[in-house]
Amino acid sequence: MSKLSHIDENNRPTMVDVSAKKVTDRAACARTIVHLPEAVSAAIQGDEIQSKKGPVFATAIIAGVMAAKKTHELIPFCHPLGLEQCDIAISVDANDVVILCRCKVHHKTGVEMEALTGASVAALTIYDMCKALSHDIVIGETRLIEKTGGKQDFKYSG
């Protein structure tokens, strides 16, 4: 028998049955780092990049929230969740853009995938909107930073 939660006793992919789980407050935070080459970093004015397509970070925030809300449509075995909060914060540290996506829900299953999806799509949006300036943009590490609720909490210690 598989130890993977999305594989059934016949070794077939399946959605996890959450019907017996308790409804609890659940939250998750994910981070994606985008490394900008100098040509793109030079376009940052204050806390935003204005491109021909519009305000880059503001658009990335909207795209990330939209993606987090649609995670169950993108990842086959994710349960559909009515997110109660999705907040994306974007900051610049030298040539790195740090994207944090925090999601909350009161449900039987967690929001890790929603947070990871939101951070990832925000990063992809930054790439898309800045690629006219340079194709040397690198979408780096995406990772879960923290989760609470459910069986066990998690906090990245690095």
- Which residues does the annotation mark as catalytic? 128
Sign of CA dihedral 46, 126, 103, 146: negative
Q: Which residue blocks in the chain are alpha helix, DSSP H?
A: 38-41, 56-69, 71-74, 112-130
User: Please, which residues have CB within 8 angstroms of residue 35's CB and are 6 or more apart in sequence?
Assistant: 95, 96, 97, 137, 138, 140
